[in-house]
């Protein structure tokens, strides 16, 4: 009755015995094996004395075959030149065979040529070495180009450019590497470098159309539109079926036109269905001398005679001064306004258009340049009822004093004077103007008012009001 524990003990002991037995076997085996190996080695050493190189090995990896050295053909010694026949040896000459001699000479020449070939072969050998090196470089270049293409497909353009550059270093004579690099640079938006590469590619191969097309794209990127157009047109002429080039050319032309002429948009005030469907017409704008615009005269030029200061309403056309009718270039006004005989440049014509705004009045007034007679004519033209709008921002004090002077100069009181005095007092800040009058102006005003009082045959109400409001003292 063995317990678990004892059973385990027994198991273990048997195991250990087994192991030891195993080990002993192994050691014996090992010993016999080592003896066998020693013997084997002896025999092997003896047999290896006959060396046989295994010739079936595959070639060395990445190996470029160097050219076999050309066997030099044996230098044929030139056949001995036969001794020449002496000239006085007539017997020998009579036996001379011309044809044979000619043949011999021909053969000699051939031999000489062969000898010359041998010399060339020597040079060829040196060249061959160089050729072989070139071949190696070419293979390398192709390899780099393949890598470049691979990166190009993966859109890693920077790495593709690196690889193409290496390919170019190995073999700078291939237009393909330059053109490929140019395409990568297009994607990287390096237009200057792209153009340079395309130019190089074209130099290496004039018929490589892709290079022209890429150069056109680069030039568009650089803004060299005309040159781009040249290239595109060349591409189209060489490849009429190239739709890309045609589309690009149309795009370029359209963009160019937009730049030059600007976009033309119609006015948007009408709804679409009511708008005219006629194409927009371009109208030429002629620039005229801007100094003339402010003194513009319109259709009819009136010769205004300065001698009379008349209050006759000068029939003036009611057209406002700006804008000038577009189709009429305005003649310089100096010709018609000959009323002022002075040839001096200060002969400014009196504006015949009645001002409707304060700005117009101020402008014209300033242009009249304090010439009293003209100013009086001009001022008299203006209907008093428009004073409100013209002087809506208030009278200028210099203008007011001038007006006062004009009134005082008037020889007789008339409606116009009364009306103008009446209306002026309704301009804003009139009272302040009155209070700020200087003595001379006050005097003038007084004389005018006195005359009004005396010659009071016309609208008495107005006069009364005038007298009231123009009180200074």
Partner 1 sequence: MDKPQIILHSQKSVNYTVFDVKWIPTSAKFISLGNHARGTGALDIFEITHGDIALIAQHEKPTAFKCGTFGASPSRERRHLATGNFDGYIQVWDLEKLEKPIYSVKGHTEIINAIDAIGGLGVGEGAPEIATASRDGRVHIWDTRQADLPVASMEPAEGETKRDCWAVCFGNSFNSSERVVCAGYDNGDVKLFDLRTMSIRWETNIKNGVCCLEFDRKDIEMNKLVATTLESKIHVFDMRTQHVEKGFASVVEKAHNSTVWIGRHLPQNRDVFMTCGGSGSYYLWKYNYPENRVKTQTDKTEVGVAGTLTLLQNIGLSTQPASAFDWSPDKPGLACTSAFDQTVRVLITTKLNSI
Which is nearer to partner 1, 122 or 146 (by Cβ)? Answer: 146
Which is nearer to partner 1, 26 or 359 (by Cβ)? Answer: 26
Rg value, the chain, Cα: 58
Q: How far is the CB of 172 from partner 1 (least distance, A)?
A: 20
Count the residues of the shown chain that bind partner 1, applying the rule CB under 8 A: 31
Residue among 352, 428, 416, 445 nearest 391 (CA):
428
129 contacts partner 1 (rule: CB under 8 A): no
Which is nearer to partner 1, 30 or 264 (by Cβ)? Answer: 30
Residue among 414, 421, 437 nearest 387 (CA):
421
- Residues 6 or more apart whose Cβ sits within 8 Å of residue 351: 295, 364, 367, 378
Which is nearer to partner 1, 170 or 321 (by Cβ)? Answer: 170
Q: How far is the CB of 70 from partner 1 (least distance, A)?
A: 23
Q: How far is the CB of 16 from partner 1 (least distance, A)?
A: 7
Q: Which region among 11-19, 313-321, 359-367, 387-395 touches partner 1 (by CB under 8 A)?
A: 11-19
CB 378 within 8 A of CB 364: yes
Please pick, from the candidates 9, 12, 92, 250, the single residue that binds partner 1 as defined by CB under 8 A.
12
CB 432 within 8 A of CB 400: no
Q: How far is the CB of 36 from partner 1 (least distance, A)?
A: 9
Q: How far is the CB of 46 from partner 1 (least distance, A)?
A: 10
Instruction: Name which of residues 329 to 388 contact partner 1 (CB under 8 A).
Output: none
58 contacts partner 1 (rule: CB under 8 A): yes
CA 263: distance to chain centroid? 18
Please pick, from the candidates 2, 47, 83, 241, the single residue that binds partner 1 as defined by CB under 8 A.
47
55 contacts partner 1 (rule: CB under 8 A): no
Q: How far is the CB of 49 from partner 1 (least distance, A)?
A: 10
Residues binding partner 1 (CB under 8 A): 11-12, 15-16, 18-19, 22-23, 26-27, 30-31, 33-34, 37-38, 40-41, 44-45, 47-48, 51, 54, 57-63
């Amino acid at each position: 009755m063995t317990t678990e524990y004892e059973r385990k003990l027994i198991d273990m002991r048997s195991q250990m015995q087994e192991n030891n037995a195993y080990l002993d076997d192994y050691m014996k085996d090992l010993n016999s094996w080592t003896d066998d190996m020693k013997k084997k080695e002896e025999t092997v050493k003896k047999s290896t004395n006959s060396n046989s190189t295994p010739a079936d090995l595959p070639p060395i990896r990445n190996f470029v075959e160097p050219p076999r050295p050309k066997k030099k053909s044996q230098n044929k010694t030139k056949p001995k030149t036969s001794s020449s026949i002496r000239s006085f040896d007539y017997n020998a000459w009579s036996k001379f065979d011309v044809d044979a001699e000619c043949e011999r000479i021909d053969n000699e020449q051939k031999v000489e040529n062969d000898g010359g070939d041998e010399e060339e072969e020597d040079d060829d050998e040196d060249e061959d070495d160089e050729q072989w090196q070139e071949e190696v470089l070419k293979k390398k270049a192709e390899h780099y180009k393949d890598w470049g293409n691979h990166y190009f497909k993966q859109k890693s353009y920077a790495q593709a450019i690196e690889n193409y550059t290496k390919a170019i270093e190995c073999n700078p004579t291939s237009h393909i590497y330059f053109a490929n690099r140019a395409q990568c640079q297009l994607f990287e938006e390096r237009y200057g470098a792209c153009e340079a590469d395309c130019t190089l590619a074209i130099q290496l191969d004039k018929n490589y159309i892709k290079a022209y097309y890429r150069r056109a794209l680069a030039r568009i990127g650089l803004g060299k539109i005309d040159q781009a157009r040249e290239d595109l047109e060349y591409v189209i002429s060489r490849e009429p079926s190239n739709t890309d080039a045609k589309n690009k050319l149309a795009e370029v032309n359209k963009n160019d036109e937009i730049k030059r002429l600007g976009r033309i948009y119609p006015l948007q005030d009408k709804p679409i269905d009511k708008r005219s469907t006629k194409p927009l017409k371009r109208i030429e704008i002629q620039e005229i001398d801007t100094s003339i615009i402010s003194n513009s005269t319109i259709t009819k030029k009136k010769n205004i005679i300065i001698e009379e200061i008349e209050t006759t309403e000068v029939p003036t056309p009611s057209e406002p001064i700006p804008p000038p009718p577009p189709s009429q270039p305005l003649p310089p006004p100096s010709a018609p306004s000959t009323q002022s005989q002075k040839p001096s440049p200060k002969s400014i014509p009196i504006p015949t258009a009645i001002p409707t705004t304060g700005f117009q009045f101020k402008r014209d007034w300033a242009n009249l340049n304090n010439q009293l007679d003209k100013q009086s004519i001009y001022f008299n033209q203006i209907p008093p009822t428009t004073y409100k709008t013209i002087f809506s921002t208030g009278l200028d004090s210099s203008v007011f004093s001038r007006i006062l002077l004009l009134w005082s100069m008037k020889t007789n009181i008339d409606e116009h004077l009364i009306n103008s005095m009446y209306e002026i007092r309704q301009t804003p800040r009139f009272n302040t103007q009155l209070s700020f009058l200087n003595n001379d102006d006050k005097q003038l005003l007084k004389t005018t008012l006195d005359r009004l009082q005396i010659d009071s045959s016309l609208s008495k109400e107005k006069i009364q009001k005038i007298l009231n409001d123009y009180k200074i003292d």
